[in-house]
Amino acid sequence: MQAIILAAGMGRRLGPLTRENTKCMIEVNGVRLIDRLLTQLSALNLTRVVMVTGYEGGKLRSYVGESYRGMPIEYIDNPIYDRTNNIYSLSLAREQLQEDDTLLIESDLIFEDSLFRLILDSPHPNAALVDKYKSWMDGTMVRLDAENNIVNFIPKKAFKYSDTDSYYKTVNIYKFSRDFSVNHYVPFLEAYTRALGNNEYYEQVLRVITLIDACDFKALPLDGQKWYEIDDVQDLRIAETLFADAEDKLLKYQRCYGGYWRFPTLLDFCYLVNPYFPPQRMVEELKANFETLLREYPSGMGVNSLLGAKYFGLSQPYVCVGNGAAELIKSLMGSIEGPVGVVYPTFEEYPNRRSADGVVPYVPQNPDFAYTADDLMRYYADRPVEALLLINPDNPSGNFIARADVLRLAEWCAGRGIRPVVDESFVDFSEEGDRNSLLDDATLEAHPTLVVVKSISKSYGVPGLRLGVAASADRTTIERMRKDVAIWNINSFGEFYMQIFGKYEADYRSACRKFVAERERFAAALGGVPFLRVIPSQANYFLCEVTGRFGSHELTRLLLDRYDILIKDCSTKSAFPAGSQYVRIAVRDRRDNDRLVEALKTL
């Protein structure tokens, strides 16, 4: 068995990283792709490795040399790499291809060691590694029959997003028997290049063979093994995350702050949204209007504040719509000049918008970080603040104060010239959630200094739309916030979502009821994990104390490394006692929640 590596490409999309070197010389977590690949190949007892080089081929040859750990390396130069595609590179190696069984590999791949064993241990002499289509994949796709025979290669031009459920992506690691190369592949390769030229891809030859020639060519589908193809700097960043060691992997994920759709196998329990909304019909309505929304400008604040008001049954002058609650938080906190009372531990987007001396912290002195309206009134009675922030339910503790007590606190604030700010992004997850909201005209008018902030992302399950509202009968504050944000701060998809929401309100109420039931069940299941103490919560997450066996950081790292599950390590959050071990775990649907519980119990 020999290996042929195609390494002639220029890698233009990697910009300065390939300005003076070919793609396989870039580093992933400090290791060059070519070093990683040759190390993997050196463990396979190959007769030789043939590298087809082109762009900066001299540097690659000088770097690698004539052997690697005793494995002979031979080179073939593609002098017209800038005017041809990989079909020409492979055609230059057609003589070598016919001399032995061959592993054919592209040099811009990174993958687990197990992939070579999977293809070499297969009894099928001619095979391709394939993986079920995922959104990040590009290039040649294949379809398989019930016995994993490749029945069709689908080039980019024939790709249809409507058919992706039936697609597999070639990993670009192939095994060709010498007989297949001599009697099938090379003859077709020569005929194909004569007829259609050299600006094609070698998979096109396989496509022709599978269409008109009865050859045995099997697909070997992956089962969760990691691999990635690196074409641009975003690919490189993703690869560095996927193939980092356990400690660095956690850090790299945490630094993303989202965008986890790029990692389809990741199960994200940091994700604080409603698992039961929006319904599929609403998603289909958004899809049906996708092209119009993509091509048209959104409305300005006048229309969007009207939609936001309609969404919550409010008067338009009381509402400012934001690009997520974060935009509104920044604007609101920037308008408060004096100190702000903040309960810790907390969602730190609010205090992060203040200087350290602009925050007067209150930390509940009990193991559950529980507190009441009376606790806040006692604490701030002799601590002057301009505003008092209440996140209700609180994040990360899940502490909840009933509506009547929140209004009593607002009255107390009014009597002392304190502006109450209530973030109720999670209130719909509370029991009787729709009765606990402060978003109604009568409540706002009865408490004219009250500002209510709500993230639509959380309980409505649409974080990708980036929507939030601030509401107050204090029109001066609302007008100032409207002028503070960008004129087109909401995109057309968010605007359309607010426009159609009314048709799905009954679905939303049903989703919240389903959620409350699942939270109760999930709490009992987590309670069966011997090293977790689950703190009661009225939100869509649980703060859990890690009481033994693991620290919170170690537990977070192990879940990610072994099970591809991400939870929130709270040990570094402000106001937790030194040495305390807490994690926050979101509530997802039953299947995902059971997967987490099983992983925890296995640990």
**Residue-by-residue DSSP string for 365-378:** -STT----HHHHHH
Rounded Cα–Cα distance for residues 269 and 570 (Å)? 13
Quick one: 287 and 190 in the same domain? no
71 in the same domain as 162: yes
> Is 525 found in the same domain as 464?
no
d(CA 443, CA 571): 37
Q: Is 217 found in the same domain as 248?
A: no
This prediction has a pTM of 0.90
Across 522-536, b (16+ Cβ under 10 Å) vs e yields bbebbeebeebbbbe
Kindly give, in sequence order, each residue whose CB lies less than 8 Å from that of residue 583, ignoring residues fewer than 6 positions away: 543, 544, 546, 552, 555, 556, 567, 568, 569, 570
CATH number reported for the structural domain that contains residue 402 in this entry: 3.40.640.10
Last-in-domain residue among 461, 478, 506: 506
Q: How far is CA 425 from the centre of its chain?
A: 21
For residue 511, the tally of other CB atoms under 10 A from its CB is 20
Do residues 409 and 557 share a domain? no
CA distance 315 to 469: 13
Residue 271: both structure tokens together: 């994700």
Is residue 386 located within the same domain as residue 406? yes
Does residue 502 sit in the same domain as residue 514? no
Q: Are residues 444 and 312 in the same domain?
A: yes
* Domain CATH for 581: 3.90.1150.10
The DSSP bridge pattern shows strands 419-423 and 387-391 to be parallel
Beta strands 419-423 and 451-455, pairing class: parallel
Q: Are residues 354 and 421 in the same domain?
A: yes
The per-residue pLDDT for 214 is 63
Cα–Cα distance measured from residue 130 to residue 143, given in angstroms and rounded to the nearest whole number? 10
Q: Domain range spanning residue 557?
A: 239-275+510-602
Q: How far apart are CA 484 and CA 475, in angstroms?
A: 14
Q: What H or E segment, with its residue span, contains residue 288?
A: helix 280-288
Number of domains in the chain: 3
Q: Which residue stretches of the chain have pLDDT < 50?
A: none
Q: Are 199 and 146 in contact (CB under 8 A)?
A: no
Instruction: Please check whether residues 52 and 105 belong to one and the same domain.
Output: yes
Tokens standing for residue 577: 């006692």
- Residues 427-467 pLDDT 10s: 999 998 889 999 999 999 999 999 999 999 889 999 999 99
- 149: which DSSP letter? B
Q: Which of 506, 521, 542 is where one domain is finished?
A: 506
Which of 350, 322, 359, 326 has the alpha carbon at shortest distance from 491? 322
Q: Does 259 share its domain with 329?
A: no
Question: How far apart, in whole angstroms, are the C-alpha atoms of residue 285 and residue 300?
Answer: 23
Are 332 and 451 contacting, i.e. CB atoms less than 8 angstroms apart? Answer: yes
22 lies in the same domain as 67: yes
Task: Show which of 205, 233, 261 is a domain's final residue.
Answer: 233
Strands 419-423 and 565-566: unpaired
**Quick one: pLDDT at residue 213?**
67
